[in-house]
Structure 1
Amino acid sequence: MLPFSEQDLLTANVNPATGLATDYLNLFNEAIMLFEMGLDMPDMAEELADWKRRGYVEHFEKSGFEMKDVVIAAYHHAPADVRRDFDEVCDRALTVFNSSIDILMSSNPADAAAHADLSGRLADMKALVVEMDSHIHGRSPAHKSLQSEVDALF
């Protein structure tokens, strides 16, 4: 049992049902914003050199987020299947973001083929953030299937 109330979880932007916080997505949304800018202004791509791959707990441990203890505890108490599925998509996202950033930084976005490839990578990055968000909010396909099975019982 968590030593925090549901109100504490909500204040920390943690979904009480999943135990996951939306603030983790800020790491990825920042990279997407800089990636988009780097496509149009290659000098901006250099800003991405400071982007650091961080897992969920590490992200909050190194953040200045006031309620990080609540967020980290909620994550550790999240249902195992929810956390496993979320961690899998996060690992994929971290890999895709890292490789896409490396490719952007070594490409010439003014080249049409490079720009098209980078635009595709950007779309993949955005899709992964949407997928992570769906896990945080309990709307992932796996969760929906389980919920459908439960609903069918009643």
Structure 2
Amino acid sequence: MLSYSEQEILAANVNPATGLATDYLNLFNEAIMLFEMGLDMPDMAEELADWHPRGYIEHFEKSGFELKDVVIAAYEHAPADIRGEFDAACERALTMFDTSIRVLMTANLEDPAAHADLSDRLRDMKGLVVEMDSHIHGRSPAQKSLQSEVDALF
């Protein structure tokens, strides 16, 4: 049983139905923004050197988020099926982001094939954020709308 009130859960940006918080997506959205800039301005890619994959709990434990205890407790009490699907999407995203960032940092962006590959990776990275957002909001990825895709990026 979760010992936090619904007000505390909502204040922590946790979806009460799923037990998941949208703030985790900030880890990925920041990387997407820097990745996009790095494609056009290779010097910006260096900013991604500080990006590290972090699981959900680790992300909040290392954050300065004031209500991180609420977020972590809600996650630990999330329905197992929802959390399992979300965790699987997160693992795919963490792997994709980590690999893609390493590729970007070593790529010759003057090479059209490399640039095209990185653009495809960026598209896939955005798709994974949309998928994670769908799990957080209790929608299957097939139910996503154009608006949810836009919302996931911000």
Normalised by the length of structure 1, the TM-score is 0.91
Aligned-residue offset at 1:108: 1.4
Q: CA deviation at 1:110?
A: 2.2
Question: Could you say which residue in structure 2 is the equivalent of 1:118?
Answer: 118
Q: Distance in 1 between matches of 2:55 and 2:141?
A: 22
Partner of 2:10: 10
Partner of 2:147: none
Instruction: Tell me what 2:81 maps to.
Output: 81
Structure 1's unaligned 5+ residue stretches are 144-154
Shift of 1:111: 1.6
Residue in 1 that maps onto 2:59:
59
Q: Which residue in 2 is equivalent to 1:95?
A: 95
Q: Is the partner of 1:96 in helix, strand or coil?
A: helix
Give 1:121 deviation, angstroms: 0.2
Please give the per-residue CA displacement for 1:23-46, whole angstroms capped at 9, x wherever unaligned. Answer: 000000000000000000001101
Return the alpha-carbon distance in structure 2 between the equivalents of residues 53 and 27 of structure 1: 8
Query: Cα 1:123–1:64, aligned 2, differ >3 Å: closer, same or farther?
Result: same
**Corresponding position of 2:107:** 107
Between stretches 103-112 and 93-102, larger displacement belongs to 103-112
Distance in 1, Cα, partners of 2:42 & 2:30: 16
Query: Identity, % of aligned pairs?
Result: 79
- Aligned pairs for 1:131-142 (under 5 A) are 131-141=131-141
C-alpha separation in 1, matches of 2:141 and 2:122: 23
Alignment of 1:138-153 (within 5 A): 138-141=138-141
The alignment's C-alpha RMSD in Å is 1.5
Which structure: larger Rg?
A: 1
Question: Aligned residue pairs: how many?
Answer: 144
Greater alpha carbon shift after TM alignment, 133-142 vs 115-124 = 133-142
Q: Deviation at 1:141?
A: 4.6
Per-residue deviation, residues 84-105 of structure 1 (Å, max 9, x unmatched) = 0000000000000000000000
Deviations 1:112-134 (A, max 9, x none): 11111000000000000000000
CA shift, 1:140, in A, is: 1.6
Unaligned runs of 5+ residues in structure 2 are 144-154
Deviation of 1:142 after TM superposition, in Å, equals: 8.6
Partner residue in 2 for 1:31:
31
**Structure-2 change in CA distance of 1:142 and 1:119 (3 Å):** closer
